[in-house]
Structure 1
Amino acid sequence: MTVTRSTAGGRRNSRRIRHEDLVRLRMTLGRLGRVLRQQNDDGLSYALISLMFAIHRMQPATAGDLAAGEGVSPPSVTRSLNRLVELGLVAREADPVDRRNAVISLTAAGEQERQRILRSREVWLSDHLARLTDEQLHALLGVLPVLELLCDPELP
């Protein structure tokens, strides 16, 4: 398989990557993401946790903003928001600019829960990184800039 990338001048660079390696990379990164997201022991669903993190990033936000940001339907976001409000993790208040809309933000309890989830994931990751040799850890940390680059939405 050839990976093709446009350069700033419109020129294309091509590099060969074996299909097996591409599949292995995709599956490994996906699996690691899933495993990290599962490091939560309080019964909140992935959808609720994802919405809490989106609210943190975007707050204050409207339900429409959140639906667009999460790529889900407004009714789905509304159901999840109702559950988060019931749990005391999220607050809805009238939008001071447009009283027809509500702005959503995390409550203090919601921020504490978000921090707890992050700590739980970091503890899991730290425990698993401790299993690596110094050389393995150094190699892993060396690819962080490349992985961060892959996450850049501005890449072609």
Structure 2
Amino acid sequence: MSEHAIKTKDREALELALGEQIHALISASHALNVRSAERFDATLQPAAFHLVRWLYSYGPTSAAALAEATAMDRSSVSRLIKQLETSGYVSKAQDPDDRRGILLSLTELGEQSTVNALKEKESAFYERISRWDDEELGRFTTMLRQFNGLEE
């Protein structure tokens, strides 16, 4: 909105409606994340799956970097990593760039279990966009990128 634009009642209603839809998206995404976490391993907390998803997406990292990237405290990350390691989903290895450092990474079991767990989430979202044509999907993606501050 330009600095000279006047906020109208219609604009306020549109902004409220947008807020409701963003909340609905976040809520639906959270519910799907919880179901995916349960599908991954019902004995673990959903927060453990959050760490697994990060490792799956971005690769090996230190516990400190993982804590920072996921906005979790180090003690929680440490406890969850210990559980994931005991379950065979995560392994630790010496950092080749810093011999004192330890890198966390997914094991083959961790990667395969992550892929299996994410299938449900993907199918739910793909089902929602399946009736859109390419132009609608492109427009939606562009607008989301703009909304997320990734594009002007």
Normalising to structure 1: TM-score of the pair? 0.74
* Aligned 8 A contact 2:62 2:104 in 1: yes
1:37 paired with 2:33, answer yes
Cα displacement (A) at 1:64: 0.7
1:149 paired with 2:146, answer yes
* C-alpha separation in 2, matches of 1:31 and 1:82: 29
Higher strand share: 1
The residue correspondences of 1:4-153 to structure 2 (distance < 5 A) are 4=1, 12=3, 14=5, 16-18=11-13, 19-40=15-36, 41=39, 42-43=41-42, 44-127=44-127, 134=131, 137-138=132-133, 141=137, 142-152=139-149
* C-alpha separation in 2, matches of 1:102 and 1:12: 50
* Aligned 8 A contact 2:89 2:110 in 1: yes
How many percent identity over aligned positions?
24
AA matched with 1:86? T
Gaps of 5+ in 2: none
* C-alpha separation in 2, matches of 1:58 and 1:77: 16
* Aligned 8 A contact 1:91 1:104 in 2: yes
AA matched with 2:61? A
Moved over 6 A (4+): none
Cα displacement (A) at 1:62: 0.4
Higher helix share: 2
* C-alpha separation in 2, matches of 1:47 and 1:143: 29
* C-alpha separation in 1, matches of 2:106 and 2:49: 12
* Aligned 8 A contact 1:36 1:125 in 2: no
Cα displacement (A) at 1:104: 0.7
AA matched with 1:20? L
Higher deviation after alignment, 110-119 or 31-40? 31-40
* C-alpha separation in 1, matches of 2:150 and 2:126: 27
Cα displacement (A) at 1:56: 2.1
Normalising to structure 2: TM-score of the pair? 0.76
AA matched with 1:27? H
Gaps of 5+ in 1: 5-10
